[in-house]
Homo-oligomer: A and B are copies of this chain.
Amino acid sequence: MLRLGPLAAAGRLLPAGPRLEPPRPAGGRVSFLRCWPPRLPGPVGDGRPLSQQVRAAANSAGGSGGRGLALKTPKGTRDHPPAHVALRDHLLAAVVACFKRHGAAAIDTPVLELRLQTPPLRAPVLPIPSFQWLSSCSERAVVFAMATMQVPFARYLAMNKITNMKRYHVAKVYRRDNPATTRGRYREFYQCDFDIAGQCDPMIPDAECLKIVHEILSDLQLGDFLIKVNDRRILNGVFAICGVPESKFITTCSTVDKLDKVPWEEVKSEMVGEKGLSPEAADYIGEYVQLHGGLDLIERLLQDPKLSQNKLAKEGLGDMKLLFEYLTLFGITGQISFDLSLARGLDYYTGVIFEAVLLQQENDHVEEPVSVGSVAGGGRYDGLVGMFDPKGRKVPCVGVSIGIERIFSILEQRVKAEMLYKKDPKLLKQLQYCEDTGIPLAAIVGEQELTDGVVKLRDVARREEVDIPREKLVDEIRRRLEP
Give me the interface of A with B, judged by CB distance under 8 Å. Answer: 22-23, 25-26, 30-36, 38-46, 49-51, 53-58, 60-82, 84-86, 88-89, 100-101, 103-118, 123, 125-128, 131-141, 143, 155-156, 158-160, 167, 172, 176, 188, 249-251, 347-348, 383, 387-390, 392, 421-423
CA distance A304 to B450 in the complex (A): 61
CA distance A348 to B249 in the complex (A): 57
By secondary structure, the A interface counts as: loop
Asked if B71 and A85 sit within 8 Å, CB to CB, the answer is no
Asked if B25 and A138 sit within 8 Å, CB to CB, the answer is yes
CA distance A389 to B137 in the complex (A): 33
Asked if B107 and A80 sit within 8 Å, CB to CB, the answer is yes
18 A-B residue pairs with Cβ-Cβ distance under 8 Å, sorted by A, are A31-B136, A34-B39, A35-B134, A45-B126, A51-B348, A57-B125, A67-B388, A69-B116, A69-B387, A69-B388, A75-B138, A77-B112, A86-B106, A101-B423, A103-B422, A111-B111, A132-B135, A133-B135
Asked if A33 and B70 sit within 8 Å, CB to CB, the answer is no
CA distance A143 to B112 in the complex (A): 15
With A31-B44, A53-B127, A118-B62 in contact, do A108 and B80 touch (Cβ < 8 Å)? yes
Min CB gap A79→B, angstroms: 5
With A39-B35, A105-B421 in contact, do A63 and B110 touch (Cβ < 8 Å)? no
Min CB gap A246→B, angstroms: 10
Which residues of B have CB within 8 Å of A74?
110, 112-114, 135, 137, 141, 143
Of all chain B residues, the one with the shortest Cβ separation from A106 is B85
CA distance A60 to B127 in the complex (A): 13
Asked if B32 and A35 sit within 8 Å, CB to CB, the answer is no
CA distance A53 to B126 in the complex (A): 8
CA distance A89 to B137 in the complex (A): 28
Asked if A136 and B32 sit within 8 Å, CB to CB, the answer is yes
Asked if A57 and B107 sit within 8 Å, CB to CB, the answer is no
Min CB gap A7→B, angstroms: 12
CA distance A25 to B390 in the complex (A): 23
Asked if B188 and A111 sit within 8 Å, CB to CB, the answer is yes
Asked if B387 and A116 sit within 8 Å, CB to CB, the answer is no
Min CB gap A194→B, angstroms: 13
Which residues of B have CB within 8 Å of A33?
35, 38-39, 41, 134-136
Which residues of B have CB within 8 Å of A30?
41, 136-137
CA distance A43 to B126 in the complex (A): 10
Asked if B136 and A421 sit within 8 Å, CB to CB, the answer is no
A105 partner, pick from B42, B63, B82, beta carbons under 8 A: B82
Which residues of B have CB within 8 Å of A64?
116
Asked if A116 and B61 sit within 8 Å, CB to CB, the answer is yes
CA distance A68 to B79 in the complex (A): 37
Min CB gap A247→B, angstroms: 8
